[in-house]
């Protein structure tokens, strides 16, 4: 595992990413904050002693990358106003909501969460189940106002 200074570095960057995504005025800043969160939690999930313990980190990374891609596509649709024939912005807003639900592990996108949680330590489960959900929940509340 890591020594205390590495844990402190990853936890502080985790907090910084959440603060960045919460306090950002642009969609790009929100996305960057979420990616900082992702990149700071992955080293906490890995363990160099046993390669089977690294499997949840890889699963978590793949799911979060798919959710981030969906978020970026929906942001591009909103910003470019590519689909002008829609009455409202419902579809990009629903895409943002679904990507945030995927990032949080909320139903119906929760199937990856038990597999990741069963193989991680208690402290990592605590971080994944609490801190990692703050920014997506607030972004979902922003989407309600869209």
Task: Encode pLDDT of 27-81 as tens digits.
Answer: 999 999 999 999 999 988 886 677 667 888 899 999 999 999 999 998 888 887 7
Q: What is the mean pLDDT of the chain?
A: 87
How much is the pLDDT for 86? 58
pLDDT tens readout for residues 89-103? 678 888 999 999 999
**What is the sign of the dihedral through the CA atoms of 125, 102, 106 and 20?**
positive
Which residues 6+ apart lie within 8 Å of 21 measured at CB? 29, 30, 31, 32, 33, 34, 36, 37, 135, 138, 139
Q: What angle do CA 1, 125, 65 make, to 5 degrees?
A: 90
pTM of the model: 0.86
Whole-angstrom Cα distance, residue 23 to residue 35?
Answer: 15
pLDDT at 54: 84
Which pLDDT tens digit goes with each residue over 124-138? 899 999 999 999 999
User: Where in the sequence is the domain holding 90, given as residue range(s)?
Assistant: 4-144
Residue 44's pLDDT is 87
pLDDT of residue 30: 94
Report pLDDT for 99.
94
pLDDT: which is higher, 3 or 111: 111
User: Among positive and negative, which fits the CA dihedral 90, 96, 105, 25?
Assistant: negative
Q: From the CA atom positions of the chain, what is the Rg in Å?
A: 16
The number of folded domains in the chain is 1
DSSP 23-88: H-SSHHHHHHHHHHHHHHHHHHH--SS-GGGGHHHHHHHHHHHHHHHHHHHHHHHHHHT--TTSSS
Give the pLDDT confidence score for residue 92 in this predicted structure.
82
């Amino acid at each position: 595992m890591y020594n205390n200074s590495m844990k402190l570095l990853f936890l502080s960057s985790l907090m910084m990413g959440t603060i960045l995504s919460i306090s950002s005025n642009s969609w790009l800043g929100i996305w960057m904050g979420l990616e900082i969160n992702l990149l700071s939690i992955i080293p906490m999930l890995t363990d160099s002693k046993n390669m089977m313990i690294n499997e949840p980190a890889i699963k978590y990374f793949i799911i979060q990358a798919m959710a981030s891609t969906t978020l970026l596509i929906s942001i591009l649709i909103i910003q470019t106003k590519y689909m002008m024939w829609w009455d409202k912005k419902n579809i990009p807003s629903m895409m943002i909501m679904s990507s945030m639900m995927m990032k949080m592990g909320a139903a119906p996108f929760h199937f990856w969460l038990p597999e990741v949680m069963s193989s991680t330590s208690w402290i990592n489960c605590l971080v994944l189940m609490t801190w990692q959900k703050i920014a997506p929940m607030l972004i979902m509340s922003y989407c309600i106002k869209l």
